[in-house]
Structure 1
Amino acid sequence: MARRASLQGSQAAPPLTSRNISQGLALLTNLDQQRQAKRARYSTIRAEEPDENLDSTSPIYDAFVDKQGPDGYQGIQREVRAVLPTKKPIGGVLTADELRTNDRIASDRVIVENFFGRLKTLWSVCSDIYAWKRQNYDMLFQTCLALTNVHVRIHKLRAEDGDANTQYVNRLISIGSKIVKNKKAASRTYRSKRKVRLSLAMAAESAFTAADPGGSDTEIGSHSESDSGRLFY
């Protein structure tokens, strides 16, 4: 009993006092101040403006989108290195050269996406949040790029797409074959059960006919008539 009481006493929660409440409020206030400081350091939005997403992982991008709008990427090549397709003017059409340029940009975009997908797949330092020294980031990233280029020379980028497409087609074929197989099995089961039911019905009918060769309906009718006569008499 004493041991049980000691265990219960050790598992009991600490009492809620004014000191604990003040410490919790101070901790929450400190966290809010840290978020506000991070926002003021990385964002171009004024600190007194309301922020709907204080825990954003990309405050600079959010500030740029809020400032430029959803079409803010148009003209971004004047600020940073960017290659953008030509947008069709209002009420106009694109020329043949502009269409060919857009097609080349779209094709290059697929290659870039495949390359960065390979880069993030091979090296977790490029896919996860970087938490090491900032001075070593350029060296690590360039090393990962060089090793990824070597890997791409050995294993082509688009080869994985072909393998994935082949796996997808084979999976669809296997699913279709399984569906056809299940339907055939269900049809065989239904036919076998129907055959058993018909054989049982025919056997029961033949046995009933053999036990009562004829006139069963007449006898039944005569008995019923005599019974009804007794009732009337």
Structure 2
Amino acid sequence: MAMSKMALSGKSFKPFPCARYATGVTFQQANRPAGTHSEAITYYSGKHHLYGYKVEVSVLPTGLALNCSPHAKGSVSDTTIFRENDAFHLNALKKRPDEMHLEDDGPFTVEYPRDWDVLTEKGYQGLRSDFRAIHPKRQTRLNPLPLWRWDEGAYDLFFRVCLALTNAHVRLRPLRAEEGDDYQRYDARLFEIGFSIKAREKERRANY
């Protein structure tokens, strides 16, 4: 959807109408993969304290997914995934010739007069040197598992199918605030699982 159409239909991001889309990483938990510790640890997310995959998804204000990156290992930073998907971002954020006249008084318009903004989370610090990115500022403060490896070749296909189904659902039934609440509960559950696993491992080590 073009920026002009989103503006006229009132579908822009309310705080930042200059933002073309929002980008975030979704984490999918999985069991510890087969292999040595040095191989398996690359799938470990320090944020969630779980093994798994990360996929970056960019979403329009309407709730439709605009792009889905190939999966990355759980230890890869959100910023790295974004930069490795720069071909999409640089093209998608570029203002079209018929959009140059649209009002744009958003953040960093002086530094990037020919680009739209992208909304990101606080885990994307450092993008602003190459992209017109808006993100919250960081706050500063003074038993063996199953040995098997996932079918990574099929993972991207499955994820894209899920995304296509989500887009179809959004077209028929626009997103509501409840969907955001559901995701927050899902994310909190992942953290709870991760901390629970760490606590059990710590208890086992203490008993030896």
Report the TM-score, using the length of structure 2 for normalisation.
0.24
Structure with the larger RCO, 1 or 2 (CA within 8 Å, 6+ apart): 2
Which one has a larger percent helix, Structure 1 or Structure 2? 1
Which one has a larger percent strand, Structure 1 or Structure 2? 2
Report the TM-score, using the length of structure 1 for normalisation.
0.22
